[in-house]
Structure 1
C-alpha cells in the first residue's frame, strides 16, 4: 500500500500492515498515536520523532520503533517512509519506549516488497512469509543512540525544547538557572535526576543530534562551524565518540552551501 491512511485499513485482520508514504519537505506529522506498534523506516531523508519524554533523530536508512499507544509527532525532512503497523500481541518483545535501530540490507529489501501488498494480502504463501520474516529481522536490529531524554518537570522541559529548536554553543548553565529561577547547583542536581545527564552534557548531545539533519545539505566543515565547534576535527571526534560513526557517513552533499535552519521541534 502506498500513501494510504492507516485509519482506512487499521481493522483489517493482518498482524502486519505495510504502508509506504511520501512526505513533502519539512512536513510535520503532528501529535497522534496508533493502536498498533509502528516500525517507521525512512528510505530517504531524516526524521525527528518527539514524545513527552524524549526526542529521537532518525538518520537516513534507519528506523524507529514506536510502541503502541505512544503519543508522538514526527518532522519529516525529505522523507519517503516504509512503515509497518503491527498488532501489539504479535510483538511482545517490542521496546517500551521509542528506539532507533539499524536496518539490515535484507530488511530494506523486504520493506520494499511489502509496501506493494494489498491490505488483505494472503497470509499463506509468499506474502505471509515476507510479513513473518519482517518481524524476525526487526527483532534482530541493533539499537542506536540517536536520542535524548527530556526532563519530566515542565520548567526544565521548556528549556530543553527551546534549545532543541535553536542549539547554541554559547548557552551556559548560569543562563538556564536564571531562566528557571534556580541556583546553578540546584539546576544541575534536578537535571541529573530527571535526565541522567548534566545540563552541559545534555546540550552537547543535543547539538550533535542537530548535526544529523544539517548534514543532508552541508559539509562536515560547515556543520561544525554552525554548531560552534573549534574545528571539523573536534566535531568529528565528538560525533564519532557519541554515535559510533563519523558525521561524514551522513553528509550526502559534502560540497553543499548554506541555507535553511536547524530543524527543531
Structure 2
C-alpha cells in the first residue's frame, strides 16, 4: 500500500499494517500520535524526528522506532518511507524512541511488506514474511543518534540555542556561568537532565546534526568549520569515536 494514511487503516484486523509514503523535500509532518507503534524507515533521504524527549536524525536506510502514543513531528528531506504500524504488545521494544540499524534482509522485507494485501493471510507466505520482519526488528541494534533534551527550562534554552548554532568550543564553565551556578552543580544538573555528561552531549549533538548535512551532500570541511572544529581531521576523529567510522565511510555504507 502506498500513500495512504494509517488513520484510514488503523482498525485493520492484523497485528501489522505496512504503508509506503513519498514526501516532497522539506515536508513537515506536524506533531501527532498513533495508537499503534510505528517503525519508520527511510529508503531514501533523511528524517528529523522531534519529541518532548529530544531530537533524532534518521540517515538513509535506517529506521526510527516510535512507541504507541508518543507525540512526534517529522521533517522529511527527500524521503520515501516504509512504515510498519504495529499493534501494542506485539513486540517487546523500548518505550522510548530510538534510531535502529536495518539489515539488508530487513530492508527487503520492508519493501515486500508494503505490497501485501491489507488483510494478508496470517498462516500463509504473507504472514510468515511479517513474522520474519518482526524477528529482524527485535535483532536490530540501536544507534547513538538521539540528542536528549532537558526538562529544566533554563538548561533547555541553552541546549536549543546550541542546536541552532553548534560550537564545539563551548565549555561547561561557560554554560554554568550563564546559569549563575557552580561548575560542579552544572555538571550534576546536566547529567541528571540528559543522562550524558556535557562533553558527551556536545559531541553527540554535533554528530547527529552533521549527519543531515552530510546526507544532503555538504562537504566535511564546511561542516567542521561551521561547528567550530579546528580542522576536518579533528571533526572526523570525533565522528569516528561516536559512530565507529569516518564520515565518508559511514555515508558510503548508508547508500
TM-score (norm 2): 0.91
The residue aligned with 1:240 is 240
CA RMSD of aligned residues (A): 1.9
Task: Write the distance in 2 (CA, Å) between the matches of 1:182 and 1:71.
Answer: 33
Distance between the aligned counterparts of 1:249 and 1:97, measured in 2?
Answer: 29
> How many residues of Structure 1 are paired with residues of Structure 2 in the alignment?
251
Unaligned runs of 5+ in 2: none
**Contact 1:45/1:78 (CA < 8 Å) preserved in 2?**
yes
How far apart, CA to CA, are the structure 2 residues paired with 1:61 and 1:112? Answer: 12
Match of 2:249? 249
Which range moved further: 15-24 or 197-206?
197-206
**Corresponding residue number in structure 2 for 1:83:** 83
Cα displacement (A) at 1:169: 3.3
Question: Does residue 114 of structure 2 align to residue 115 of structure 1?
Answer: yes
Is contact 1:59–1:250 with CA below 8 Å preserved after alignment? no
| Separation (CA, whole Å) in 2 of partners of 1:165 and 1:113 | 38
Distance in 2 separating the partners of 1:156 and 1:190: 9
| Residue 121 of structure 1: how far off its partner (Å) | 2.4
SS in 1 for 2:187: helix
- Give, in whole Å, the separation in 2 of the partners of 1:194 and 1:49: 20
Aligned partners of 1:130, 1:193: CA distance in 2, in Å?
A: 42
The question of whether the paired residues in 1 share the 8 Å contact of 2:13 and 2:119 is answered with yes
The CA distance in 1 between the partners of 2:37 and 2:195, in whole Å, is 27
Tell me the residue number matched to 1:32. 32
Q: Which residue of 2 aligns with 1:98?
A: 97
The Cα shift of 1:33 comes to 1.1
Q: 2-side partners of 1:176 and 1:26: how far apart?
A: 32
Tell me the equivalent position of 1:207: 206
List structure 1 runs of 4+ shifted beyond 6 angstroms: none
C-alpha distance after superposition, 1:109-158 (max 9, x if no partner)? 11111111232223232211111111011111111111122112222122
SS for the counterpart of 1:48 is: strand
Number of the residue aligned with 2:163: 164
Task: Report the CA distance between 1:161 and its aligned residue.
Answer: 2.2
- Counterpart-to-counterpart distance in 1, 2:87 and 2:236: 40
Q: Which runs of 5+ in 1 are unaligned?
A: 253-265
Separation in 1, partners of 2:79, 2:250: 14
Deviations 1:229-262 (A, max 9, x none): 122221111101111222113547xxxxxxxxxx
The separation in 1 between residues aligned to 2:115 and 2:246, in whole angstroms, is 34
User: Do the aligned partners of 1:3 and 1:22 also contact (CA within 8 Å) in 2?
Assistant: yes
Q: Check conservation: 1:218, 1:251, Cα contact below 8 A.
A: no
Local SS of the residue matching 1:215 = helix
Equivalent-residue separation in structure 2 for 1:77 and 1:83 (angstroms): 16
Separation in structure 1 between the aligned mates of residue 248 and residue 120 of structure 2, nearest angstrom = 40
Once the two structures are TM-superposed, the CA of residue 159 in structure 1 deviates from its matched residue by: 2.0
1:256 aligned partner: none
- Give the match's secondary structure for 1:155: helix
In structure 2, the CA distance between the partners of 1:27 and 1:176, relative to structure 1 (3 Å rule), is farther
**Deviation, structure 1 residue 48:** 1.7
Which residue is 1:56 aligned to?
A: 56
SS in 2 for 1:100: strand
